[in-house]
Amino acid sequence: MRSHLLNDATAESYRRSVIEGVERVADKLATTRGPFTGVTPAELAPVIDAVDLDKPLGDSSAALDELESVYLRDAVYFHHPRYLGHLNCPVVIPAVLGEAVLSAVNSSLDTWDQSAGGTLIERKLVDWTNGRIGFGPAADGVFTSGGSQSNLQALLLAREEAKSTDLSRLRIFSSECSHFSVQKSAKLLGLGMDAVISIPVDRDKRMQSVVLAAELAACRAEGLVPMAIVATAGTTDFGSIDPLPEIAALAEEYGAWMHVDAAYGCGLLASPTRRRLLDGIERADSVTVDFHKSFFQPVSSSAILVRDGATLRHATYHADYLNPARTVAEQIPNQVDKSLQTTRRFDALKLWMTLRVMGADGVGGLFDEVCDLAAEGFALLAADPRYDVVVEPQLSTLVYRYVPEGVTSPEDIDRANLHARKALFASGEAVVAGTKVDGRQYLKFTLLNPETTAADIAAVLDLIAGHAEQYLGETLVHA
Ligand SMILES: Cc1ncc(COP(=O)(O)O)c(C=O)c1O
């Protein structure tokens, strides 16, 4: 069994195995004709159930053969131009190369003595991101597993900075379109059920700062504590960006922590043409960025950035075995002092490789392309009498609904749209997402693939209309 350990004696076998795996995936990518096969859980579960984990295959070629039927054949492929579903991007090759390196070397970024250069690389990327945000020299941050964890850590810092002994008095303000991890974080942080005050959005799905101002005033009048305002720079459904300068001014007036959830919109930090959409972000106390959404990075790659690095002390604990207090005086850079995690992947290496190969303009330019594509898609939808499109995109999502002529029941239209989404998924021809707007069923394109064209969008809209029409034809005839 020692032949499977990766070390000096097995370097050749490592090379062979990994190359074989890379070749299988490369073949798969080159020959995959759709984003999905349409396999159902009922079809796939027995295939996986049939694998006896107590009977190993012994060599990696056999395991790769088996992987074809248990995973690769039916995976959902984000690189395919007709994958238009959730906030998943196709990945860039330099980042995938970084992933291969980081898992083989397997540094753990909690302490210097488990990572050395890895720690310094992560720190440099944190500084680079802070420079793009416009934070000053006191800024700091740390990589995390994803936007949910970044938001949790930001709100933990906000809670501690609020310095209130009565958690039930703390309030968080975020728009009705903010990500659900805000509510979840409030719960995890021991705040009350009513801690998150949902602020309505305007027609463009941006937080209404006038209502925010009124809610903050009411909060103060009731003797409650405005702990944090979460502005979203790129809402999950609409890609809308809350009015950051106005929110920053209110946060300053009320002494509230300003967190910007730029999990999605962070791609603008590298955009050669659209960076201004994030103006005001530099006034935040903390920012969430998900490189695995709009920097074309493999999952996971995210970070929490803070304007004042000293606030990260709220996540600091010293353990004798790992990061004893003396290491601070010795100026040993231990990232665990800033993180909610202990053992932690060297995800930063993927972004490092990306920037070293492509440069910021290169990766930001790709994000610009998908934003341009969304504008084209909006024009298509707006001109198509079959569809109702909700809002002109600031980033790269489109939310729309098939509205057939002559069908007046909103419930029938809901069911037709839901059916079309499911039927499309089952066909494997394209993958789209869905969401609710004012209680009604809508469909969503999240455009993150520069290889997707306006012709793809038009073709998928025809497919959706076809499925919806067929459903309505069958159900209304039989009603
Ligand atoms: C605006 C926003 N914030 C946070 C998250 C959560 O990020 P993650 O899935 O990386 O935890 C998402 C995910 O879609 C998001 O859209």
pLDDT tens for 393-420 read 999 999 999 998 888 899 999 999 999 9
83 pocket-lining for ligand 1 (C-beta < 6 Å): no
> What average pLDDT does the segment 65-90 reach?
97
> Ligand 1: which of 174, 207, 293 to mutate, judged by most atoms within 8 Å of the beta carbon?
293
CA of 183 to the centre of ligand 1 (A): 13
What is the reported pLDDT for 407?
A: 81
pTM confidence score: 0.97
For residues 377 and 399, give the distance between their C-alpha atoms in angstroms, rounded to a whole number: 10
185 pocket-lining for ligand 1 (C-beta < 6 Å): no
> What average pLDDT does the segment 378-406 reach?
97
For the four alpha carbons of 102, 107, 110 and 115, in that order, the dihedral sign comes to negative
Query: Closest ligand 1 atom, CA of 236?
Result: 16
Enter the tokens of residue 434.
Answer: 């869905």
What is the reported pLDDT for 365?
A: 98
Mean pLDDT across the chain? 97
What is the reported pLDDT for 479?
A: 59
Place of tokens 């609409």: 238
What is the reported pLDDT for 405?
A: 87
178 pocket-lining for ligand 1 (C-beta < 6 Å): no
pLDDT higher than threshold 80 for residue 178: yes
CA of 175 to the centre of ligand 1 (A): 15
Query: Closest ligand 1 atom, CA of 87?
Result: 14
Residues 6 or more apart in contact with residue 259 via CB below 8 angstroms = 151, 154, 155, 158, 228, 229, 230, 231, 284, 285, 286, 287, 288
> Ligand 1: which of 87, 155, 297 to mutate, judged by most atoms within 8 Å of the beta carbon?
87
Q: Sheet holding 83-84: strands in order across? A: 83-84, 431-437, 440-446, 397-402, 387-389
Q: Classify residue 340 as exposed, middle or buried by CB count within 10 Å of its CB (0-12, 13-18, 19+).
A: middle
> What average pLDDT does the segment 221-235 reach?
98
For residues 304 and 359, give the distance between their C-alpha atoms in angstroms, rounded to a whole number: 22
458-472: pLDDT as tens digits: 999 999 999 999 999
Max CA separation in the chain (angstroms):
78
What is the reported pLDDT for 193?
A: 83
Closest CA to 244 of 218, 268, 224: 268
230 pocket-lining for ligand 1 (C-beta < 6 Å): no
pLDDT higher than threshold 80 for residue 14: yes
Size of the chain, expressed as the number of residues it contains = 479
What is the reported pLDDT for 478?
A: 60
